[in-house]
Every structure is written in structure tokens, then in C-alpha cells.
Amino acid sequence: MGVEAHKPLLESIGVDVERHAKMMGMGLGAYQNLFMSQENRPKSMEYFDWFMSEIQGERIAEINALRTQKKPAVGTFCIFVPEEIVIGAGGACYGLCGGSPATIADAETELPRNICPLIKSAHGFKLQRTCAYTQSSDFIYGETTCEAKKKSWEILNQHHPVHVMNIPHMKREKDLALWQEEIKEFKEHIEDVTGEPLSLEAMKEGVRITNEKRAALQRLDKLRGMNPEIMPISGKDALFVVQMGFLDDPQRYTQKVNALCDELEERVSQNISVFPKKTPRLIVLGTPFAPPNWKLHHAVETTGGAIINEESCIGHRYFKDNVNLDGVENEDELFKALMDRYSKIDCACFTPNEGRIEKILQMVKERKADGVIYYTLSFCHTYNVESKLVLDAMEKAGIPALAIESDYSPEDAGQIKTRVEAFMESITFHQKAREFKGL
Ligand code: BJ8
């Protein structure tokens, strides 16, 4: 149907339809160029191609149909938001637009230039009214993870309701107790939207639905990256599938990801790989890739490499842990189970951020990766500073690593490609040296 068919709805929620149509045209054009041109794609990607064509159409209609039933619609910019509670209330919890350079100039009329592009892009989408997800949300759930986000909520709140969750920056017992309280408060905020109490059983159902979604993504992650001989899907397609998990209806999405995994299993059994043997296999570490930020994946996979995992919030950090419902019999136990799961997230906003480096070393080993790329969005101080510790650990372990800092502008695409090319050459040299030594 496309966006055109939903024009009256988009107008009714305050979208600047003309500007939005231009932006969607650019986004769909980029998707066609970068994704549809790949060879030997799994057939099950057809669903995700369709979803892209309806990303600001059919899905927006679904979310607004929920709202007419007084179900909550919550927009987020962080994986700390306990989406299980919104889903348990029958609503939709989704990531908001924040990956495009096209809104940044508008954002810079209100925000400083030298903050990360994700925050500026998201803010600009609201000022332009070109993200139908933002326009559909009852409120945006912000968090106190980094300085720039924390302060920008106060300005965004002048344009759209923002509810801020106080995420501690340490994980001591007293910090975790505060965290659990914040989850409880979030539930109460959802009840304010619906005007109804939210039962324990409904929240547990929200957890089960979300656990199944994460389990499907864990399955995709293994199929994509665990077999060094056969890579049945490109990193670019796998990234896109994960990105859409932040927007789609969770149950339908889980079913589609599992159908894709069935096909990938079949491909593995038939030795169908989208990359030739000995293609350098890389893990990307660092900040999230909000769509349409596909620049790095495109550069790597058109330069003879393959990305087999994103150690990122739009990636492994999002789906690696499930919520354990064993023995949960009352609300407090449920909030604790949620806090236990969410506090395992190893975002660089924590100090110390124990466990992240060991996890990365383990991921490289398990997946037999040939190297890592540490990717930081410009002006993201937490990930940028933490890169020193991660890169030192990679050097010590003899893992080839490349650090890239970038924003959303297309201007550095050529420079990134050149650096990736040189990195790939050094990895090939490294591979040959290992073969020579019989390792
Ligand atoms: S849990 S990584 S999604 S905070 S890139 S806005 S940190 S300056 S996105 Fe993040 Fe949650 Fe952490 Fe993940 Fe700030 Fe850095 Fe920008 Fe960032």
C-alpha cells in the first residue's frame, strides 16, 4: 500500500506529509541500492523488504489502531526501556527515527553542534515532524545514560511528552534498588496512559513474548556468525532484520525471524554461503546503528569482508539476555527479574563496565572472527573513552582491530572504505601468516 495510502492518518497525527514523502523516497531509494542489489539473498528477506516499504505506512496504521483502543504507544532511544511492560499492556514499544543526516540542520537550531548525531537526528525528526513513530507515541521514554541525552530531553519535552528513567551509572546494590523502583514507576506511568491496572499475569505475558523475540534473534546470531565456512546471510541483511525488530509487532516479527532461520539452516545444510571461503569475518563493537545508518556495513561488505555480529545495542547487546520468570509470583519479584536482566547490559555509560571486554574476547573466540572494528558515533564520549581499554585488550590478545569514528554524513564514506580496505589487507596477511605457521 505504501505511505501514500495512509496520507489522511499521517496528517491526523501531525506528520509534515510533503517533507516526509521526500525523506521516505530517499530512504527507499537507498534501501534498493544497498540491499536489493545484493546477490543470493535468502528468500525470507522478502518479508523484511515488504516491511521496509510499509515502515511508515501499514505499521503506523497498526500502532494508531492500538491507540484508539487506549493501548500505550511508547517511543524509545535506548534498550534500557522495559518493553515487556508495554507489550504486556497490549501496546507498542518502538525505537524512534534517529539515524538520518537529513534532520540534523534543524536540530542544530536548538542543540549544540558538537553532540552525537543520534541525538541530533532524533531531535530534528521531531522538529520537522517527519517521523510517524514519534508522532504516534503517547510519550517518549528517555533515560539518563549520557550527558547529551539527559539534557536534550528537557528541550525535546517542549515539543513532545518525555518521561525520563533514572538509570544509575554504577551497579552497586543501592543503585540496583533505585533501578528496580524506576521499573515500577514506568509500569505506573503505563497505567496512567491506559487508565487501567496492569496485572502481574499480563506483564508476565509481555515477558514471554519478548523472550521469544530475543530467542529468535539469538538463533539468527548463531546461524549468521558461528560457522566460519558458511555465512548464509550478509551482515547488511542481518543488521536490517535486527533494526526492524525495534519497530515491528513482536509476535509477527518473531515468526518471520524464525522462518528466516529455518531457511538459513537449510542453506547451511546445502553449503550455500553468500561470501566465499576465507572472507575476513569481522565483529563490529560500539555504538548503535539506527536505520538508515548502513554506511559501515556497506563499506565492509563491498570491500571483500563480512560482518558477522554487532556488539552493539542494535545487535547482540539487545538480545543476548532473557528475563528469568522462574519463581516469580508477585510484582516485586517481576520487577527484580526485569532489573536483573536489564542490569546485565554493558553500556559504556557504566563505571566500571566490568564484563564487556571478557564478553568481546569470548565472542571473537566462539565465532572465530578475524578481527574487530570499534565503531563510535562522533562525540559519544563514553564509547570513545572506553575504546582505549577495549583496543588495548584486543592488542594483548592478538586480535586485529580498527577504530572508526563517524557521523551520519556521506562525506567520510570514501575515507572509511579506504581504511577498511587497508585493514582487510592486513587481516589477509595475518591469515596467511597463521596458515604458514600451521595455526
Ligand atoms: S544502552 S549505547 S542505546 S545509551 S551514541 S546517545 S551513548 S552519545 S545510544 Fe545507547 Fe542505551 Fe547505552 Fe545502548 Fe549517548 Fe553515545 Fe550518542 Fe548513545
Mean pLDDT for the chain overall: 96
The grid coordinates of residue 64 equal 494508531
Q: Could you give the CA distance from residue 186 to residue 141 in angstroms, rounded to a whole number?
A: 9
Report how far ligand 1's centroid is from the alpha carbon of 383 (Å): 8
Q: How far is the CA of 116 from the centre of ligand 1 (A)?
A: 9
Rounded Cα distance between 121 and 134, Å, is 12
- Under 8 Å CB-to-CB from 112, ≥6 apart: which residues? none
Ligand 1 centre from 201 Cα, in Å? 32
What does the pLDDT average to over 100-120? 97
Give the per-residue pLDDT at 226: 93
Which residue lies with its CA nearest to atom 12 of ligand 1? 347
The model's confidence at residue 239, banded by pLDDT at 50, 70 and 90, is very high
Question: How high is the pLDDT of residue 439?
Answer: 66
Share of residues in the chain with pLDDT > 70 (%): 99
Q: What pLDDT digit, counting tens, does each position of 141-153 carry?
A: 999 999 999 999 9
Which of 174, 353, 149, 28 lies closest to 165, judged by CA? 149
Decide if pLDDT at 288 tops 90: yes
Mean pLDDT of 31-40: 95
Nearest atom in ligand 1 to the alpha carbon of residue 383 is 15
Residue type, 76: T
One-letter identity of residue 369: A
Cα gap 119→123, rounded to integer Å? 6
Nearest residue by C-alpha to atom 1 in ligand 1: 347
Residue of the CA atom closest to atom 3 of ligand 1: 78
C-alpha 388/C-alpha 379 separation (Å) is 15
With a cut of 90, say whether residue 435 has pLDDT above it. no
Cα Rg, the chain, nearest whole Å = 21
Ligand 1 centre to CA of 79 (Å) is: 9
pLDDT of 1 strictly over 70: no
Helices 200-225 & 235-244 angle (0-180, nearest 10): 170
Least confident stretch, 122-136, 327-341, 417-431: 417-431
288 CA to middle of ligand 1, Å? 7
Query: Grid coordinates in use for 355?
Result: 564484563
Pocket of ligand 1 (CB under 6 A): 78-80, 116, 118-119, 145-146, 148-149, 287-288, 313, 345, 347, 349, 377, 380, 382-383
> Atom 4 (ligand 1): residue with closest C-alpha?
145
Q: Whose CA is nearest to atom 14 of ligand 1?
A: 146
Q: Is the pLDDT of residue 295 over 90?
A: yes
Q: What pLDDT is stored for residue 2 in this prediction?
A: 62
pLDDT tens, residue by residue, 200-216? 999 999 999 999 999 99
Of 380, 387, 390, best ligand 1 pocket probe by most atoms within 8 Å of the beta carbon: 380
Up-side HSE of residue 55: CA atoms within 13 Å toward CB?
28
Q: Cα 39 to the chain's mean position, in Å?
A: 25
Q: pTM, whole model, 2 decimals?
A: 0.96
